[in-house]
Every structure is written in C-alpha cells, then in structure tokens.
Structure 1
Amino acid sequence: MANEIKKVVLAYSGGLDTSVILKWIALTYNCEVITLTADLGQEEDLDGVDEKALATGATRAYVEDLREEFARDYIFPMMRANAIYEGRYLLGTSIARPLITKRLIEIAHQEGAQAVAHGATGKGNDQVRFELSAMALDPSIKVIAPWREWNFRSRTDLNNFAEQHGIPLPVAASRKLYSMDRNMLHCSFEGGELESPWLEPGPGSYLMAVPVEEAPDEPEYIELEFINGDPVALNGEKLSPAAMVKALNTVGGKHGVGRLDMVENRFVGMKSRGVYETPGGTIMHIAHRDLEGICLDRDTMHLRDSMIPKYAECIYNGFWFAPEREAMQKLIDETQKNVSGTVRIKLYKGNVIPVGRKSPYSLYREDLATFEEDDVYDQADAAGFIKLQGLRLLGYKK
C-alpha cells in the first residue's frame, strides 16, 4: 500500500501524538502529509498550529472553524433524537468524529490524496468511527492508523522519536493526569485514578462544570425556546447553534450540571470507565424531552423512543453515515415539526429541573386533566375501557 500513497490528509491536533504521526507517515510512506486541525469549540488556542505542522514536515496545513456546522448538523439532529448511549452518555466524543472524517475526505478530494490518517489507538472506539465514516463517504480512500502499525509502545517511545526528529514537545505533556477529549459539547476524562472503577474522580477532572459543593447556594431560572425541536433562544435572546451550546455550557457549568461517571461498553469489546462533562447538552436534552411532553402525541413519542437505543448505537459505533441512521433521522425530524415552545428550568446544585412549559402546539387540555368538575369526560366510560383491556388476561394463570 505504501507505494500507492503519495499524499495523506492527517487529522492533526498539534499535540505529541499527531506530531509524531505526521513525521512518521512522511518517513514511512515517503509521501506528502497535509494536516487538518478542526476547531470544534474545544477552547484551545489554535494560533500557530499550522506553522507547527509545516515545521514538522506537512506540505500544507488546514485550520478550520467547524463550530457552527458541528452544532447545527451534528449536535442538534442528535438532540432532536434524544440520543443517549446506555441510558446515560450524551455521546460528546462520538458525534464529533463523523464531521472530522467528512472534512478529511473532502480535503483528500481537493488535494488529490490517496489516504487519510488519524491518531486513534487500536484499543478505542474512535478508530472504528473514523474508518467506518471514511468507508461510507469514499471507500477508495485508504486509511492509515499508525497506532496499529508502528512499533512504539509507550509515551517514552514517542518522546524519544520526537527528540530525534526535532519535534517540539508540549511542556505539559508529561504532567497530564488524564487522557482528555474536548469539544463544544463535552469534555471526557480517562486514565489516572479513573482506571480503577472504585476510586472517586480527582479535582483535576473538573473543567467545564464546578463540583456541586462549589455551585451557588441559590437556584437560577432560565427559559429555553425551541423551534422544530432545536433550541433557538435563551432567556429571550436568539442565538446561533454554536452560540447556544456555548451559553448553556457556561450557565450549566456554573451550577455543576452535566457530570457523569460511568463504566461503559466499548464497541471493540472492553469495558471502560470515563468521566464526562456535558453541561449545555444536559440542559438541552432535559428541556427538549420536557417540551415533547406537551407537543408529541403519545404513540408518536413511544415510537420515536423505541429507536433511541439503536440511534445512539449508530453514533457510538461509528455509523453516522449509515442508511439506517439517516432513515431514522427522517422519521425523527418528522416528529419534531410541532416541538416548538418554551421551557422554564431551575438550575441548582447539579440538577436541571423543568418547572414550566408552554407551546402553541400543546396537546395538553386543562379541561380534560382537571380534578375539578368537567363536562368533557365521563368517568363511567373508563369501566368499559378497562374491561376490554383486560380480556386477554382472563385466561392467563401464573
């Protein structure tokens, strides 16, 4: 394969791993390496990352602001689906991979590259997500995964290679407590004491949300407005998708919202313990779910809910561009046409508590639900309903 590859597009962060990968690919494949650094709202200073890539051997370096596209075309569709993996995880890392891969493939087409490359290890889920996305978008483009090819086995090996080839080492690399992944939706922490499922996460695992002990002692009320299932305004202020996620992260993080500590099942077969911070996403998820309570017909909601585990697995396992995810998205988006309105929320000590909701499409009828006297519901009718529902149970014996 090496002889066929003349140009590679690498997903490049500027850190130790991808800097070593850049040089290693250029030397091993004797080819040009073009880098893509995607700004997904990870709150990192990307100034100079292109110069670093070029100094390390890249022939061209792309640095792209993908924040609005990420929020609008990836986060929001996922939130409309109420996607949540294993009942807990809001898929912050998973949802970023298809967008990065899409841009890698697009740049490969622009530059006439034969391959793309990523820095995911052979133990994790990200390798699967990158490569399945690439296969779906253009199976003729090859994928290089150095962690599955080279002989490096430790951080020391990478440091030695970097020193041999004059690659600047990040000052803080040796002091990092955790393996972290951050974008505008979340931040994940793995490694360190988290490798023991019994140990409590340390103070270094708090970045986007404060510990609940440090959250304000007074609740804060916010109002979140939705149109067609997407949040569009916070406290009356219209916001773009990316600005909305950022604003909700700020207010949610201040109140310790969105912390998750879980042991999950990786697609590659092992269990993994991670800590996730998703303050804004948690608010969006809970508020959206609450608004659906008055806007969605019962059986429509239950049908959509039956798809949540499968939809979430599609994202987690790398099948964002698969036909089944796209088909489910069309049905889900059809259910969201009347999910418009406003939810009033109380934020307090890590809790997101809906306390009010209203919608021009509300299906809630006070005259039906009231405990006071009404003229629209004959309670005696319930007897026949119950009798018919119970017919199939009459001959059933335990």
Structure 2
Amino acid sequence: MGEVSVAYTNGVMPARLNKVVLAYSGGLDTSVIVPWLREKYGCEVVCFTADVGQGVMELDGLEAKAKASGACQLVVKDLRDEFVEDYVFPCLRAGAIYERKYLLGTSMARPVIAKAMVDVAKEVGADAVAHGCTGKGNDQVRFELTFFALNPKLRVIAPWREWDITGREDAIEYAKRHNVPVPVTKKSIYSRDRNIWHLSHEGDVLEDPANEPKKDMFMLSVDPEDAPNQPEYVEIEVVSGLPVAVNGKKLSPASLLDKLNEIGGKHGIGRVDMVENRLVGMKSRGVYETPGGTILFTAARELESLTLDRETIQVKDSLALKYAELVYAGRWFDPLREAMDGFMEKITAKTTGTVTLKLYKGSVTVTGRKSPNSLYRQDISSFENGDVYNQADAAGFIHLYGLPTRVRAMLEQGI
C-alpha cells in the first residue's frame, strides 16, 4: 500500500480553521478524519457523539480513543427523548411514509444530530463542522441543510468529498502513519444505521434486488416463522394524534417506543424490503426493521378512521407524501415542513382514543378502536331507519349525484 497524501483542491492550501466539531462514532472512518482535519486545516478537533438510541454505542473508552486520534475533547449528548418527541412523533402524526414503505428512521435522526452539533459549535467556539458521510448518499444533504438553516456562517467540511482515501485499506494505512488506534471490531459486511426508531441494512447480498435477505442479518426482530405461536394483544392510547400509553401504562416518548420495539420485535413486526430512490438520483436497496414504529403507524391511522372525515383524510394523506419527501431530503427546518406540521397538529387535535391490535407472526391486525370524538354513529350506520338518516332519501341523492353519468349516456345514445 502506497503513501496516502493530503490532497488540496486545485493544489491550493486551504484556509486554516480554528476549531472543528466532528460527528464522531469511534469507528475507523471518523477516527482517521481527526488527524486529517488537523493536518489539512491546522485546527483543533472537538469530537461529538450523539446517543439517539442506537443501543450499540460503547461510551467506555470513547473519550480516550478520540483524544488518542488527536481530538482536544469529546462531547457526548443523550438525544433520545428529543429525537422521539420532536422528530419521530411529528412524522408519526403526519403519517409521513417515503415511497410507500420507508418510515424515515435515518432521515429523522440526522437533523437532531446536526442541530446538536451546531449547539456544540457555539459552546466551544468552533468555526466549522465536519461529517463522515460519503458523496453518494442522502446523509450529506441532511446534515448540511441543517447546518445551513441553523448557522450559515459555519464552514462545512466533508472529507469524503476532498481526500484521496479510497477505501478501508487506505484508511488503515493513514491511521498507522498518524498513530491513530485502529478499531479492532469485526467489520460488518452490511452498512447499518440504528436508532431508537429503526435499524437499516444495506450492502452485501442486498445489493442485488433479486436476493432474499439472509435470516441472520436481522437484529431487532425475530423471523416471523420463529415468532410465538400465540398472538399478543396490545392497546395503544393516543391523545391529539400522539401516543401516550401502552396497555394502560403512561410512558415517556422514548420509553414508550422502547416498549413497543420489544413487543413488536418478539413477533417479527416491522420488516420492510424496498428499492428506493435516493435524493442524489440513484436507486438503492435497503431492508429496514421498525417494530415499534409499525405498530404506532397502524394505531394512529386506524384511530383517524374514527375521528377524521373523508375530505380531511384525503387532504392529510396528500400532504403526508410531501411531508415525507421534505424529511427524506433533509429539509426538516424548511418553513414549508414547519407550516405543514402546524396543519397536522391542528387537524389531529381530536384524534384521541385507544386502539387494540393483535400481533402475530409478522402481522399487525386491528381488533378494536374507540374515541370520545368518534364520528362513527351506530344509530346512523345501522340498517334500521332513524331520525337522522332515512333510506328513502338516498333515491334523490343518487339521482342528482349520477346526473353527469346519465347526461353522458343520453348524448352517446342519442336520447
């Protein structure tokens, strides 16, 4: 392996920076970015690690690892409650699903992390932020649009778009030359992103859309074939479009999601295999596990069937598509999404009640729903005549409603 150099755009030495806040995981890529930033920009590097419920984050020794790589300090923030309450739940309330399947797990997490990085940059007096996203993915856009929206004065550094490190071996060689401790953890054959809402899988056999995912790839959910042979019932309580309790027990947003992930994962709930259109134009195949989120989306949608009228549901569903596109594209702090969020909050103000669901071998079935604000009236929907609805009135309605159809037929038949 040859020497890995520091390349400069157009051969020009870049302007020096004072301090950079780097999104840091402790893995090979971000560990190498630390000395690279110091060498190229002559700056101090503050590593930032966010806990968004990924579960596999090992904080023990992370600070020592960051400093051994050349960082001046490590800042760690627990963002789990903020993530669920301020990002996940608004998307849930809006019914935002990207391209029919994707529940936006990674898309929602990036802006909360980037927002925290902007806050840390202010706290430590940094004049730049950096991330380890590649130039082919969506995450670079999500991070950087958040930086632009919250502090456009910050310089943004994206090493993968600048350096000449081309792969893992290059990175290891660079790390050795700069005495950076190389992580000894086994390299996963999959590219994964995990948080409290979901776990995504890309790469390896998944790169061919014709291949079935391997059984041992999944981590949050059991194979539906191996799930319990007896169904489990779960009751979700919702207030104004947002979940507040599971089986009668009030829980914080993050705790509620943790509970449903546990229950749903046990029954193989929430597996999605899809080919999606990335923001940068290419298609990619991903497999997602979202057990708790799938349960919540099902519950919220079913409760709305009681509390919203037909036209409201149609408008809400149409806006949900645009809402999902904005979130997927990293435009969380866009005025349009914020305005749409106001609409979603207003329109679901009466969506309060409970939904009972049956979980069984990968399926979520609604078995009951009730709301104090239900628009469903048994006395009206019954086949019996009543004071509010007289069946004889339907004749006049059909005559007028079908008038355009009759006129067209008369024209075609020369009547």
Q: Is 1:181 aligned with 2:193? A: yes
| Counterpart selection for 1:384 from 389, 393, 396 | 396
Deviation at 1:51, TM superposition (A): 2.2
Deviation at 1:299, TM superposition (A): 1.8
Secondary structure (helix, strand or coil) at the match of 2:156 reads: strand
Q: Is 1:331 aligned with 2:343? A: yes
8 Å CA contact retained: 1:223, 1:342 = yes
CA distance in 2, matches of 1:204, 1:101: 32
Secondary structure (helix, strand or coil) at the match of 2:46 reads: strand
Secondary structure (helix, strand or coil) at the match of 1:52 reads: helix
| Deviating more after overlay: 240-249 vs 297-306 | 297-306
| Counterpart selection for 2:306 from 294, 319, 333 | 294
Q: Is 1:85 aligned with 2:102? A: no
**TM-aligned CA distance change 1:204 to 1:164, over 3 Å:** farther
Letter in 2 for 1:308: A
CA distance in 2, matches of 1:135, 1:396: 56
Aligned Cα root-mean-square deviation (Å): 1.4
Q: TM-score, normalised by structure 1?
A: 0.97
Task: Tell me what 1:36 maps to.
Answer: 48
- Structure showing greater radius of gyration is 2
Q: Is 1:348 aligned with 2:360? A: yes
Task: Tell me what 1:102 maps to.
Answer: 115
Secondary structure (helix, strand or coil) at the match of 2:391 reads: coil
Deviation at 1:302, TM superposition (A): 1.6
CA distance in 2, matches of 1:166, 1:260: 42
Secondary structure (helix, strand or coil) at the match of 1:356 reads: strand
CA distance in 1, matches of 2:121, 2:25: 18
Deviation at 1:121, TM superposition (A): 0.4
Gaps of 5+ in 2: 1-12
Gaps of 5+ in 1: none
Secondary structure (helix, strand or coil) at the match of 1:218 reads: coil
Task: Tell me what 1:62 maps to.
Answer: 75
Letter in 2 for 1:144: I
CA distance in 2, matches of 1:344, 1:252: 14
CA distance in 1, matches of 2:220, 2:68: 32
| Counterpart selection for 2:224 from 196, 212, 221 | 212
8 Å CA contact retained: 2:193, 2:200 = yes
Task: Tell me what 2:62 maps to.
Answer: 49
**How many residue pairs end up in the alignment?**
397
8 Å CA contact retained: 2:385, 2:391 = no
Letter in 2 for 1:112: G
Task: Tell me what 1:10 maps to.
Answer: 22
CA distance in 2, matches of 1:66, 1:274: 25
Letter in 2 for 1:280: G
| Counterpart selection for 1:369 from 368, 371, 381 | 381
8 Å CA contact retained: 1:16, 1:173 = no
| Counterpart selection for 1:245 from 243, 248, 257 | 257
Between the aligned residues of both structures, percent identity stands at 56
Q: Is 1:132 aligned with 2:145? A: yes
Q: Is 1:257 aligned with 2:269? A: yes
CA distance in 1, matches of 2:370, 2:61: 48
1:215-234 map, 5 Å:
215-234=227-246
Deviation at 1:3, TM superposition (A): 2.0
Q: Which runs of 4+ in 1 moved over 6 A?
A: none
Task: Tell me what 1:147 maps to.
Answer: 160
Q: TM-score, normalised by structure 2?
A: 0.93
8 Å CA contact retained: 1:121, 1:148 = yes
> C-alpha deviations, 1:194-240, integer Å up to 9, x for none?
01110111123200111111111110001110111111110111100
Deviation at 1:396, TM superposition (A): 4.1
Letter in 2 for 1:76: F
Q: Is 1:309 aligned with 2:334? A: no
**TM-aligned CA distance change 1:46 to 1:371, over 3 Å:** farther
CA distance in 1, matches of 2:190, 2:289: 14
Deviation at 1:35, TM superposition (A): 1.2
| Counterpart selection for 2:294 from 270, 282, 297 | 282
8 Å CA contact retained: 1:20, 1:167 = yes
